[in-house]
Amino acid sequence: MMHVYGLLVDDQTRCEHYHSEVDIIAIQFKCCGKFYPCYQCHNACENHPIERWQPNEFEQQAILCGHCQRTLSIQQYMQVTHCPYCQAQFNAGCKKHYGIYFEIENPISSLSI
């Protein structure tokens, strides 16, 4: 089982910030190489700013499905609503935070880090 850091509430990567039935992914942060369920957990546990993945790095296996423990590339993750391995549903609302984790054109989120 991949080690996930942060303020976890269960073994499927739900955390104290995001803990609905579909909050089951963790992201490997480029800046530290650690998997966290969300940016808030990262910021609570680390002393450095978040470094975003660049488009030419979207093939990196940086997304962990908390249900089956398989990893997806960033590109795969951004194109699905369910895990391609176990069919577990992902939280569609996570798209609002893509601009925090990934360097993308026209980020949906204007949320500051």
Token digits of residue 113: 């880090």
- What three-state secondary structure class fits 72? strand
pLDDT digits (tens, 9 = 90+) for 65-102: 999 999 999 999 999 999 999 999 999 999 999 999 99
Q: Considering only CA atoms, which of 31, 27, 51 is closest in space to residue 41?
A: 27
- Looking at this protein, which amino acid is placed at residue 59? E
pLDDT at residue 108, as a whole number: 54
Domain enclosing residue 10, as ranges:
1-113
As for how many domains the chain has, the answer is 1
What is the pTM assigned to this prediction? 0.90
- What three-state secondary structure class fits 100? helix
